[in-house]
Amino acid sequence: MTVRPSSSNRGTSFCRMDPFLANHFARVTFLSDNRADLPRMTARTLILQCQKDVIASTSVGEYVHSCLPNSQFVLMNATGHCPHLSAPQEVIGALRAFLN
């Protein structure tokens, strides 16, 4: 049995984030551009893309896949941006398939 925190607990946890760290995270996340680095990455890479992700659309995942020379793209049935929270079994299945 998998125990997951309720969505209200996750929201509370995010709201308790240190403002300095939240600001730093936002700046690094939203102001950095690493697209030019992608073709130089040689590691085998799994790209998990959720359907109806309001943060990163399918075209973003497809773009990353097209730029990473050794990548595999999986469009999941899960929706949203955090499938490890909303659809952990689907994530586990995709990881197992990739690693085998």
Q: What are phi and psi for residue 43, nearest 5 degrees?
A: -65, 145
pLDDT of 3 reads: 52
Mind listing the pLDDT tens digit for each residue in 70-98?
Answer: 999 999 999 999 999 999 999 999 999 99
Q: What is the C-alpha separation between 29 and 38, in angstroms, rounded?
A: 16
Token pair recorded at residue 12: 């509370």
Residues 1-18 have pLDDT tens digits of 455 555 555 555 656 778
* Residue 40, pLDDT score: 97
pLDDT of residue 17: 77
pTM over 0.75: no
Higher pLDDT, 4 or 68: 68
Query: Exposure of 43 by Cβ count < 10 A (0-12 exposed, 13-18 middle, 19+ buried)?
Result: exposed
Domain boundaries, the chain: 35-99
Predicted pLDDT at 88? 96
- With bands split at pLDDT 50, 70 and 90, how would you rate the model's confidence at 28? confident
